[in-house]
Structure 1
Amino acid sequence: MTGLILKITFLMVIFNFCASSDLAATLYELQKTPDDMKNDRMSAEEEANQPTTDKPTTVPNPPTSTVKAVTEKVLEKAKNSQKQKSRKDKQKLILEETNTLPINPKMPINIGVRLVLESIKSIDVDAFMDFYMEVTWYDHRERNLTAFMSGKDTNKFCWMPDLYFLLARSVNFIENTQYLGINKGEMLYDRKISIKTPCVPDPFRYPFDTVTCTVLVSSYGYDEGSVRLFWKDGGLEFPETYDQLEYIGFKWAGNHAMFTGSESVQYGTYNYTILMATFQFQRLYSVYLYQIIIPAAILVIISWTVFWININVTPARVGIGVTAILSLLTLSTNRKHDANSKYLTIRTSLLDIYIWSCFLFVILAYIEVSASDYMITGKPKTIGLGRENKVSGKLMTVKSRSWVPLGFLMFNAAYWFYAFSV
């Protein structure tokens, strides 16, 4: 009796732990008695002798070994699928990590910047420059990697500093002119950039002025707590043999025409590092000397001929004065059409002072012609302080031969001393 109870208990435990109905059916077949098996056989024969109906056909249960093999196959397939999903998630995680800032809890990331100028296309209120920008930093996630990549989309393989140019009119990143070098975590990124940066001239000293152009570089989103910018190896490099500046009317302003600096600027509640690269260019004034200044001085000298022409030949003297005045007006008008004068019209420049001073000397010569002619043909005029002196037109003309050139000579001495000394 006890054995029967143990047998029944064992069968109940097996049924509770079996997840498959096929295994339960197989165990049920094992516990049948001979009489039960005989009754089942007779029932099966009777069903076989009956006519065929639309009842569904009963599929015999598979053996236990088959169920076990299928189960193991399904479990193995599910395990492989989980591994593939885990591998994809890991690759995605690595890609997301390498495209984020390499966080260092102890100190910010040091980013070195270096500009290598290739060419300067033009200088005006803006300067068009082409240069190569080298950026270096350290990424500990790439410390076991050594690689070199070049060409388009190179900057998409890893995290890149978000550098941008402040106050730039336009920035053009040249395609297919970039490369990325990785040497055990030491990152080097180089790219060619064409930039239009603002320049500040000195309108008063035009055309003897110095034009200052500034390039400002900073991080767009990361403050000083995350990244630290600095100039690497001096920050600027330019070929010493570069002489194309002369073709655009400029030259380097002395031996220290390029210099760099940095400044910390607060924006909101954060501080950002701004790198400054300054370029100074001296305008070549020889073209203005030959085309405007010297012709203006020659017109003034020509106007002096009225002092030596016969005082009685008034039409000839007046004709020379009028011609000189109209010629100087033409020079001043051409100066306003100068390509570089569009930002100089708001202030008076040294060039304007020279032209209008020459115009004043020509007017004085014309006034002397009119005054001397009036004194000769009209009544004598008395001048003086407290005493009367009769001055003839001829005496005025004779004295003008020395006074007017002397005044013009003194003006030129003062003008050129100021132009080259300040």
Structure 2
Amino acid sequence: MGTGHYFWVIFYFASLCSASLANNAKINFREKEKKVLDQILGAGKYDARIRPSGINGTDGPAIVRINLFVRSIMTISDIKMEYSVQLTFREQWTDERLKFDDIQGRLKYLTLTEANRVWMPDLFFSNEKEGHFHNIIMPNVYIRIFPNGSVLYSIRISLTLACPMNLKLYPLDRQICSLRMASYGWTTNDLVFLWKEGDPVQVVKNLHLPRFTLEKFLTDYCNSKTNTGEYSCLKVDLLFKREFSYYLIQIYIPCCMLVIVSWVSFWLDQGAVPARVSLGVTTLLTMATQTSGINASLPPVSYTKAIDVWTGVCLTFVFGALLEFALVNYASRSDMHKENMKKKRRDLEQASLDAASDLLDTDSNATFAMKPLVRHPGDPMALEKLRQCEVHMQAPKRPNCCKTWLSKFPTRSKRIDVISRITFPLVFALFNLVYWSTYLFREEEDETF
């Protein structure tokens, strides 16, 4: 057997021995972890009912630092005034009773999955409506105990939180939804919550909301005093801006189109009664349906919203176009009645002239006293007419453009239609100018909060 063969045999046995020693070391290390856990959490050695001491072992309040990671924001409901969020919630505090030997830096931390093994802060979400933990495949929770006694508690939860909204500028509004966390039983003499230094709130980068944009978030404190004492409280305010493009396409443009379609009635013949009535009623019912659909997706509030002003004015314009036709129809019948009366009067005058001419033919020998056609220069009536003519010649009246233009349309019904063709679009354009300048300016003012 050669020297090389002996070398490989020795190397093989050495490898087996080293692997066996490594496995034994790992087993021993896991056993050391178990011993440490038994040492600090064994029966009769740690009582989870007693809170930790204050800073540097003093009798002051226990300090708990909070930080959040917002994983997703599912829905923001206007009608229920609530929003749903999924987040990773973390608490960190120091419990000197949990200090242990780190075995020369080899044991970085101990991990637990049972929160009832150690003392836990009695934190609750004060504006929570519903909430649940995540237990698939295993409960999404862990507790890390560090050698210096620091405890890190992390859990993934889903919450539905109340979000009172001010909808006066809807849908040009911004909303602030808060997440409030407070102590339920420990007062500030025993427990104080603080935001973790640095970056206490993180938000996932690819956060997408269907109708909102998360502009920014602010952290603050909200301690509350009651009859039983003062309780520590933290809050984070999420500022959401409503995406206006959706409402522009779904509400504002269709309403404008309905108003413009109602103006087609002004260009139809005044005798086309079925066409004008059906057009006016159809646009009115469509606008009313659009308004009711908008209100169905919003809570019944006591104040007027921006969308109420828009739909109300658009509904008024459509209703005004329908009333305009009623006025045109009434004026048309009045014009017809006047025309018939004039025709009858002309017929009577023609009949009287015919009767007078027949009378002249039959009584040609009769004599009539004829007055002179031209008055004498001294006649006072002639002088008065001469002065009136001189006054008219000296001060000629300027022609009225509007009356001259309206005189082209002989009937009142046609004049009403022509005036409506100009008045309705001008008034609607003026309303748009006032509406958008008012609410967009208010929106810029609200950016300060």
- Return the TM-score normalized by structure 1: 0.69
- Between Structure 1 and Structure 2, which shows a larger proportion of strand residues? 1
Higher relative contact order (CA 8 A, sep 6+): 2
**The residue matched to 1:372 in structure 2 has which SS?**
helix
TM superposition shift of 1:292:
2.4
Contact 1:234 1:260 in 2 (8 A): no
Choose which of 297, 306, 328 in structure 2 pairs with 1:350. 306
Distance 1:262 1:132 in 2: 20
Contact 1:218 1:274 in 2 (8 A): yes
Q: 1:391/1:200 Cα in 2 relative to 1: closer, same or farther (>3 Å)?
A: farther
Task: Tell me the percent identity.
Answer: 27
TM superposition shift of 1:334:
2.4
Match in the other structure for 1:118: 71
* Residues 5-24 of structure 1: per-residue CA shift (max 9 Å, x gap): xxxxxxxxxxxxxxxxxxxx
* Residues 230-279 of structure 1: per-residue CA shift (max 9 Å, x gap): 1113421102x324213xx2212x3xx21110022212242111101111
Match in the other structure for 1:206: 170
Q: Is residue 60 of structure 2 the alignment partner of residue 100 of structure 1?
A: no
Once the two structures are superposed, the pairs formed by residues 162-181 of structure 1 within 5 Å of their partners are: 162-175=122-135, 176-181=139-144
Distance 2:308 2:163 in 1: 22
Once the two structures are superposed, the pairs formed by residues 263-278 of structure 1 within 5 Å of their partners are: 263-278=222-237
Q: Is residue 206 of structure 2 the alignment partner of residue 250 of structure 1?
A: no
RMSD of Structure 2 on Structure 1 (CA): 2.6
Structure 1 residues without counterparts, runs of 5 or longer: 1-86, 382-388
**The residue matched to 1:371 in structure 2 has which SS?**
helix
**The residue matched to 1:378 in structure 2 has which SS?**
helix
Contact 2:97 2:149 in 1 (8 A): yes
Q: Is residue 151 of structure 2 the alignment partner of residue 187 of structure 1?
A: yes
**The residue matched to 1:204 in structure 2 has which SS?**
coil
Match in the other structure for 1:218: 182
Q: Is residue 269 of structure 2 the alignment partner of residue 310 of structure 1?
A: yes
Once the two structures are superposed, the pairs formed by residues 402-413 of structure 1 within 5 Å of their partners are: 402-413=422-433
Q: Is residue 199 of structure 2 the alignment partner of residue 238 of structure 1?
A: no
Q: Is residue 414 of structure 2 the alignment partner of residue 394 of structure 1?
A: yes
- Return the TM-score normalized by structure 2: 0.65
Q: 1:186/1:258 Cα in 2 relative to 1: closer, same or farther (>3 Å)?
A: same
* Residues 390-420 of structure 1: per-residue CA shift (max 9 Å, x gap): 9822222211111110000111111122232
Contact 2:53 2:59 in 1 (8 A): no
Match in the other structure for 1:77: none
Match in the other structure for 2:243: 284
Contact 2:72 2:207 in 1 (8 A): no
Contact 2:73 2:207 in 1 (8 A): no
**The residue matched to 2:322 in structure 1 has which SS?**
helix
Contact 2:221 2:235 in 1 (8 A): yes
Q: How many residues are paired up? A: 316
Match in the other structure for 1:42: none
**The residue matched to 1:326 in structure 2 has which SS?**
helix
Distance 2:222 2:208 in 1: 32
Distance 1:150 1:93 in 2: 19
Q: Is residue 315 of structure 2 the alignment partner of residue 359 of structure 1?
A: yes
Q: Which structure has the larger Rg? A: 1
Structure 2 residues without counterparts, runs of 5 or longer: 1-37, 103-108, 339-406, 443-449
**The residue matched to 1:200 in structure 2 has which SS?**
coil
Match in the other structure for 2:354: none
Structure 1 segments of 4+ aligned residues over 6 angstroms from their partners: none
Choose which of 328, 336, 339 in structure 1 pairs with 2:295. 336
